[in-house]
Structure 1
Amino acid sequence: MSRKIIIFDTTLRDGEQALQVSLNSREKLKIALSLEKLGVDIIEVGFPVSSPGDFNSVEKISNVIKESRICSLARCIKKDIDIAAQAMSNAKNFRIHIFLGTSNLHIYSKLRKNFSEIIEMAVSSIKYTLRYTNDIEFSCEDAGRTSPDNLCKIIEKVIQAGATTVNIPDTVGYTLPTEFSKIISDIRLRVPNIHKSVISVHCHDDLGLAVGNSISAIQAGAGQVEGTINGIGERAGNTALEEVILAIKTRKKILNVYTGIKHKELYNTSKTVSKLCNIMVPSNKAIVGSNAFSHSSGIHQDGILKNRKNYEIMNPETIGLKIVQFNLTSRSGRAAIKNRMQEMGYSESDYNIEKLYMDFIKLADIKGKVYDYDLEALAFIKLEKFMKLKKYFKLKNLNINFNTLGLSTVSIQLIAGKKLHTKKTKSFNGPLYTIYKTFKQLINFNISLKKFKLITKIKENKTITQVKTVVKYNNRFFNGISVNKNIIKASAKSLINILNDIWISKQIRIKFNKI
């Protein structure tokens, strides 16, 4: 019979404590609401005794969250437990999570105690916590390096005292999946009262094994998995919950377990956490990375077109993501080109596939990624003419001034074909936005800025800036990339690249009545 795995999210506690800038109460509440919508069983919302700000955030979240169970962390100290309970006093349901080091390394070098004293502290703390709640989780910190005998002994004692969940953390990401699986199996075999408590696991990713260890623990009988969205957290991070959740769904016949997660909320939750925590999700990140469901190889693209299962073990729609379009690069084949042209509304009789493919390969070698509007233009004009049209808009002059009050003044002279256009704009929104605003007023394109990204590198005492700009025009996204040692010039050139692409696209789509 399939059993349910409890999903315990610690993004707002273990994840947040590793951020360079702490989240405020409003941001934490947004993440908590997103986690609740996702269907997370337990949300660990903070460590209330650590700061007044953390206490206030826990209190605020406890007033709002109703569907998920709220949890707060506490040391085996009465004051910690009192404050955790106070912060969550208005919660519909709450859990107190207490922890204590159990490995010899932690006991002797960090806590300066012996094992008997550790057991006494753990037991007395659990008994004290019972005055506030019957939902108590005890963590054996550094369980991965705790001797099996000591680990089983303290687990038996804390369950006797009233712990309803015992957490087995691989605190420093040290164990291998086979080792971690054996730890869980031994606990189930050797702890006589283990049936009275849920075994939880909390793995760190120092060796890149957090998800593997968590899955091996599930197979060994663990009933709760702890982790964070996008795997954020101390050092190399925590178990990435989205990976565990999709592994459970994708390999359900093997694992024979399930979760209560609403899978279609995974992608939006990942985006929310990434944005508010200001931590970019790597493009190759499993499940939620921008390349997780994209395909560049011509062989892969052809296989996907015939049957997506050839190269996809999961449906992107499962996580709330629309089917991702192919990356059109020099590795793409004719099948992908034909498919993309068809999706844009063109039949094979509208263009010559061989001519298009040859020009596409040449452009891809120059540009890297080829976008829809590039492909569309190449289908109907030669590459040489395309490259010439890319210079329709040219920057003749750009002047920028800004004062201590924050007012930016931008003056631009732009050549469009054979005409010279001049515009001066003022704004308090910063010089880069003022440049965008000036360009928009110079031309007759109703564009809206969607993304503006700066990557600055210092090499051999020289600063090089790459600017990537994305704008929306007529329900289509246009991308402009420029590299320059001057941020202002790079920003302006990225916008000019976009304007030229929009202008070319307009000519093509007017010709074929696609606009």
Structure 2
Amino acid sequence: MTTQHIKTDDVKPVSENHVKIFDTTLRDGEQAPGFSMSTDAKLIVARTLSDLNVDIIEAGFAAASPGDAAAIRTIASEIEGPTIGSLARLNKNDIDAAAHAIEPAQQKRIHTFIGTSPLHRDAKLKMSKEEILKVISEIVAYASSACDDIEFSPEDAIRTEREFLLEAVEAAIEAGATTINIPDTVGYTTPEEITDLFRFLKENAKGADRAIFSVHCHDDLGMAVANSLAAVRGGARQIECAINGIGERAGNCSMEEAVMALATRRDFFNVSTQIDTTKIFAASTTLARVTHNPIPRNKAIVGKNAFAHEAGIHQHGVLANKRTYEIMDAEAVGMPSNSIVLGKHSGKHAVAARVKALGFNVSKQKIEDIFPAFKRLADTCREVTDADLVRIVTGNAETDGRIGPWRMRKTELHVNFEDETRPHARITMEHDNGERQSVTHEGEGPIDAAFAAVCAIADVPGHIHTLDLNHVAAEGIVRAEAVIEVEGKFYSGKSEEVDIADAAVASFVAAVNQAAAIRAGVSAEQERAAS
């Protein structure tokens, strides 16, 4: 099976088999607690969405606040390609605010909504069915006079009586709505139900041929993606979703999961999107960075474990043919190639493959000889790193847990906001041979300066790739994990410290140590083999 890669240059005209991707990361996603974004952050994400080639970016809710309106207008002014939209309640003030915010966009959309379920009519709106239908007709028509592209959502559609939902949809189409979105506002439906509902609406709504039907699902019962895909089977040709599935409560339909399901199982769904799937991982990590919310390891498509394998049976299969346990390529979503994680479940095939990848030329007998030491170490730790493997291959498996030749001895960070002195750091490190070195280095910030000083001492040309910091309040520690790039190869290091700066620098030193240990170990083994 070949995973579909869709690049912007390959986009074909919209057809009945094209599913539009309406991204609401910057609206519904940002409404979730802990995901609020500044205008600058929103613009970064909007550029990422444009690179992904989404059809519509719902940039915010203009009437919610002046800041939201300004952010939408900034995005509308600077982002080219996707349609830029704003949410609006079904009243003239909201419509006017939305129209003004999206005005600079080359392609614009107003997305308006009103509750239609009995709960919303009685508890929230205090309106009758007749009053709601009248407002739909009047305000959708008003919105249509301000913008050619109008989307209408009957909020809480899933818990709305079918016949009344049909009337609301027909009233919106008659008033000028070009997209009808059916939201599962509280994540209540099931795949079978939503497929049937979309078929009912498309077959029975007057004017259905004049509108695109859209789906917006929440994940309260963990079925947002499944329900969205089921709606596509029922005739939906737009999916409303968010990067990493962020959104109100348990979140929205995950953009990357829905897109890759349609791409990987095109044989089943017989539809496609225009998303450049190779940009998915970059979009996911960008959102995680600007919102300071890390991606769970086990997150489908973009999590660290999505293409990682530790079980020996799985590793053997993947090494022989990765289709044995992978239904898509990691490269298809822009991730590095599949990751063989060495641990207590790993077998000899995985160990041999990793030893070879590290540059060692060893025999099958050598692998047999070192495998017991590998297993002993694997039983004592969560993951056997490359540096651990180097120690085993070179005969130093029984040393203590420290990896590499360098120890941190002193860290001094300096920054002065009251003068023009550049941030700098003084780092003191000790080598296994007893030699101590101290280096002072400048940088963009004190941590950056410390990293540069560490590299200067260790003589390792490393550059920080990612740095994850997590404060564990219950234990009073900071856990850090750094990934560095050295001459095209990646190395990682972990640390636990009380201070956040100490943790960051210590994890960087651990990564540099790993690089130094591997380089030294490979050279030593090659010399031994040559002699």
Using structure 1 for the length normalisation, give the TM-score: 0.90
Q: What amino acid sits opposite 2:84 in the alignment? A: I
- Which residue matches 1:261? 275
| Residues 34 and 455 of structure 1, relative CA distance in 2, 3 Å threshold | closer
The reply to whether residue 248 of structure 1 matches residue 262 of structure 2 is yes
The reply to whether residue 143 of structure 1 matches residue 157 of structure 2 is yes
- Which residue matches 1:453? 468
* 1:168 Cα deviation after fit: 0.6
| Residues 92 and 156 of structure 1, relative CA distance in 2, 3 Å threshold | same
> Contact 1:465/1:487 (CA < 8 Å) preserved in 2?
yes
- Which residue matches 1:196? 210
SS of aligned partner of 1:236: coil
* 1:146 Cα deviation after fit: 0.8
> Contact 2:359/2:522 (CA < 8 Å) preserved in 1?
no
> Contact 1:451/1:470 (CA < 8 Å) preserved in 2?
yes
Which whole-Å CA distance do the structure 2 matches of 1:39 and 1:492 have between them?
38
- Which residue matches 1:131? 145
> Contact 1:409/1:424 (CA < 8 Å) preserved in 2?
no
- Which residue matches 1:212? 226
> Contact 1:100/1:140 (CA < 8 Å) preserved in 2?
yes
Q: What amino acid sits opposite 1:40 in the alignment? A: V
In structure 1, runs of 5+ residues without a counterpart are none
- Which residue matches 2:190? 176
- More divergent stretch after superposition (355-364 vs 206-215): 355-364
- Which residue matches 1:501? 514
| Residues 44 and 398 of structure 1, relative CA distance in 2, 3 Å threshold | closer
| Residues 61 and 300 of structure 1, relative CA distance in 2, 3 Å threshold | same
| Residues 136 and 429 of structure 1, relative CA distance in 2, 3 Å threshold | closer
* 1:457 Cα deviation after fit: 2.0
- Which residue matches 1:88? 102
- Which residue matches 2:126? 112
- Which residue matches 1:417? 432
Q: Does 1 or 2 have the higher relative contact order (CA < 8 Å, sep 6+)?
A: 2
- Which residue matches 2:22? 8
Which whole-Å CA distance do the structure 2 matches of 1:329 and 1:63 have between them?
51
Q: What amino acid sits opposite 1:49 in the alignment? A: A
* 1:323 Cα deviation after fit: 1.5
Candidates 284, 291, 310, aligned match of 2:305? 291
> Contact 1:359/1:382 (CA < 8 Å) preserved in 2?
no
SS of aligned partner of 1:211: helix
Q: What amino acid sits opposite 1:421 in the alignment? A: R
| Residues 416 and 505 of structure 1, relative CA distance in 2, 3 Å threshold | same
Which whole-Å CA distance do the structure 2 matches of 1:20 and 1:389 have between them?
37
Q: Deviations over 1:152-193 (max 9, x none)?
A: 111112111211111110001111222222222222233233
Q: What amino acid sits opposite 2:462 in the alignment? A: I
SS of aligned partner of 1:257: coil
Candidates 18, 29, 38, aligned match of 2:43? 29
Q: What amino acid sits opposite 1:468 in the alignment? A: E
| Residues 190 and 174 of structure 1, relative CA distance in 2, 3 Å threshold | same
Q: What amino acid sits opposite 2:183 in the alignment? A: P
SS of aligned partner of 1:450: strand
Q: Deviations over 1:300-350 (max 9, x none)?
A: 011112221111111222222332231111111111122223333433439
| Residues 85 and 343 of structure 1, relative CA distance in 2, 3 Å threshold | same
- Which residue matches 2:10? none
- More divergent stretch after superposition (387-396 vs 176-185): 387-396
| Residues 363 and 95 of structure 1, relative CA distance in 2, 3 Å threshold | same
* 1:117 Cα deviation after fit: 0.8
Q: Within 5 Å, which residues of 2 pair with 1:255-334? A: 255-334=269-348
| Residues 457 and 274 of structure 1, relative CA distance in 2, 3 Å threshold | closer
Candidates 391, 395, 415, aligned match of 1:381? 395
Aligned residues: 511
* 1:428 Cα deviation after fit: 8.8
> Contact 1:165/1:200 (CA < 8 Å) preserved in 2?
yes
Q: Deviations over 1:75-94 (max 9, x none)?
A: 11111112211222222221
Which whole-Å CA distance do the structure 1 matches of 2:159 and 2:136 have between them?
18
| Residues 181 and 52 of structure 1, relative CA distance in 2, 3 Å threshold | same
- More divergent stretch after superposition (191-200 vs 104-113): 191-200
Q: Deviations over 1:64-106 (max 9, x none)?
A: 3332222111111111112211222222221111100001111
Which whole-Å CA distance do the structure 2 matches of 1:65 and 1:435 have between them?
37
* 1:510 Cα deviation after fit: 2.7
> Contact 1:351/1:380 (CA < 8 Å) preserved in 2?
no
| Residues 258 and 117 of structure 1, relative CA distance in 2, 3 Å threshold | same
Q: Deviations over 1:413-442 (max 9, x none)?
A: 543234252537487977655654554454
* 1:40 Cα deviation after fit: 1.1
> Contact 1:4/1:258 (CA < 8 Å) preserved in 2?
yes
- More divergent stretch after superposition (340-349 vs 9-18): 340-349
* 1:372 Cα deviation after fit: 2.8
Give % identity.
36
> Contact 1:2/1:258 (CA < 8 Å) preserved in 2?
no
Q: Deviations over 1:258-291 (max 9, x none)?
A: 1122222222222222222322211111111121
Which whole-Å CA distance do the structure 2 matches of 1:124 and 1:441 have between them?
69
Q: What amino acid sits opposite 1:109 in the alignment? A: A
Which whole-Å CA distance do the structure 2 matches of 1:294 and 1:314 have between them?
13
SS of aligned partner of 2:168: helix
RMSD: 2.9
- Which residue matches 2:476? 463
Which whole-Å CA distance do the structure 2 matches of 1:74 and 1:391 have between them?
58
Which whole-Å CA distance do the structure 1 matches of 2:409 and 2:93 have between them?
68
Q: Deviations over 1:373-400 (max 9, x none)?
A: 332342222412x548847444556677
> Contact 2:387/2:404 (CA < 8 Å) preserved in 1?
no
SS of aligned partner of 1:172: coil
Using structure 2 for the length normalisation, give the TM-score: 0.87
Which whole-Å CA distance do the structure 2 matches of 1:343 and 1:173 have between them?
46
The reply to whether residue 18 of structure 1 matches residue 32 of structure 2 is yes
Which whole-Å CA distance do the structure 2 matches of 1:389 and 1:155 have between them?
66
> Contact 1:472/1:478 (CA < 8 Å) preserved in 2?
yes
Which whole-Å CA distance do the structure 2 matches of 1:389 and 1:130 have between them?
67
